[in-house]
A and B are shown apart, each in its own frame.
Chain A
Amino acid sequence: MAREALGEFEHLVLLAILRLGEEAYGVPIAREIEGRTDREVSRAAVYIALRRLEKRGLVSSRLGAATPERGGRPKRFSRLEGAGLAQLQVSRRALMRMWEGHERVLEPAMEDA
């Protein structure tokens, strides 16, 4: 299958799953992205990104146990697959190469933040 580049939001979701490890499901994934990027994340965007990533085989999911504070509904845990990790590496390398030499442009922005 031809490798499609990651969309920006898909990229963020994959990184969130990578960071959360065993605890990666809808709520913490959205909160992780919201907390780190300082923007409100639409839940619809998260679920759609997860569906697409799973369709492409970059992520797999399984249903966990139902818990009372969720109204007795299960969590769907996501897991990064090998192909997902490889895709992240490809994307990271591509971005790093594109950023090469631009660090000085980047720095003032980082000071502002």
Chain B
Amino acid sequence: MRSDPWRSVPPPRLLQAVLRLTLPRDCRDDVLGDLQEDYVLRYEQRGRFAAAGWYLRQGLALGPRLAWERSRERLTELPSSRPSKGDGTMGELAVDLRHSLRALKKSPAFTLGVVAILALGLGANIMIFSVFDTVLLRPMGFSEPDRLSFVWPERAWFTKRELAGLRETSESLDGLAGYYLWSNHTLLGKGDPEVLRASLVSANFFSVLGIAPLHGRTFLAGEDQPGADRVVVLSHRYWQRRFGGDPNLVGRTLDLDSVTTTVVGVMPAGFSFRAEDRDLWVPLVMDPANEEDYNASYVQAIARLRDGISIACT
């Protein structure tokens, strides 16, 4: 029935190419050859459409079923390395696994439902974790964050006098830093005046957190004492926005609240404390002579515990 084999018409190229992709490498060529041979016979006996339809049907079933078979082979290779089948835990496990796979295969709708539910569950989990990770875990770029602790008096706010007293008496702390989160300052100078959002912080604030600046330095001991030259540390974002990320900015002066203020450092991108978006940090001046300020309750505190000291000990 077969005429000149040289004149035979091969299966549509696109179908062949797709099928080629789905077949396992170890049997790709001979299976494609078989299908082509069969296709040519069918083409001559029943015409082009019947042949193409048959080729498509067989091809669609082949890829997935051979792939399934190969994964099954890999599964059953486990027990076959043992002297007898179903012997020992791994053997039983593989038998159970095969049994489950077969049961799942028998009810594709159920399987699809299970897979969909698992996929949704996993997806939701991953999404929630990545939000949790970005919002709560990542911003803690501090060194050994488990040794950091917020310190609260009963009234929620300390006075500077209480803070100073606490520093002297506490032996379980490596450092205690006071801060006031929201303090606005006015930047004068070139262009329009600008209101900057700052936090007031003790000179040891950054070393208590254990975080290093990107450029320059953070505050030195004494820079929060009365009479010290006024210095500030800028946030990365403000440094980029206002000064275009100028690497030579450190050491330059600004007119802040009509006081000449030196920029001593820039913090790394992504640094924030208590998720507050601040433009800069200004020393929290501890001046016992300024009695009203020294006895006002508005300071909060964060402490670094001494190594080996737990919160329960303090």
Contacts and interface: CB of A to CB of B under 8 A. Distances in A.
A and B pair up: yes
Interface of A: 1-2, 25-27, 30, 42-45, 47-48, 51-52, 55, 63, 66-71, 73-76
Nearest to B31: A47
A2 B84 contact: yes
Contacts of B30: 25-26, 63, 73-76
Contacts of B10: 71
Contacts of B16: 71
Dominant SS among interface residues on chain B: helix
Contact of A47 (B2, B27, B37, B84): B27
16 contacts: A2-B85, A26-B31, A43-B31, A43-B34, A43-B58, A44-B65, A47-B27, A47-B66, A48-B66, A52-B69, A68-B5, A69-B2, A69-B8, A70-B34, A70-B37, A75-B30
A51 B132 CA distance: 49
Contacts of A2: 84-85
Interface of B: 2, 5-6, 8, 10, 16, 27, 29-38, 40, 58, 61-62, 65-66, 69, 73, 80, 84-85
B33 A68 contact: no
A27 B66 CA distance: 17
Contact of B69 (A1, A51, A76): A51
A44 B37 contact: no
Contact of A48 (B35, B65, B80, B84): B65
Contacts of B33: 66-67, 70-71, 73-75
Nearest to B83: A1
B40 A75 contact: no
B62 A76 contact: no
A31 B16 CA distance: 21
A76 B33 CA distance: 9
Nearest to B73: A55
Contact of A71 (B32, B58, B85): B32
Contacts of A43: 31, 34-35, 38, 58, 61-62
Nearest to B38: A27
B27 A27 contact: no
Contacts of A52: 69
B66 to A, nearest CB: 6
Contacts of B66: 44, 47-48
Contacts of B35: 43
A26 B37 CA distance: 10
B62 A74 contact: no
B37 A69 contact: yes
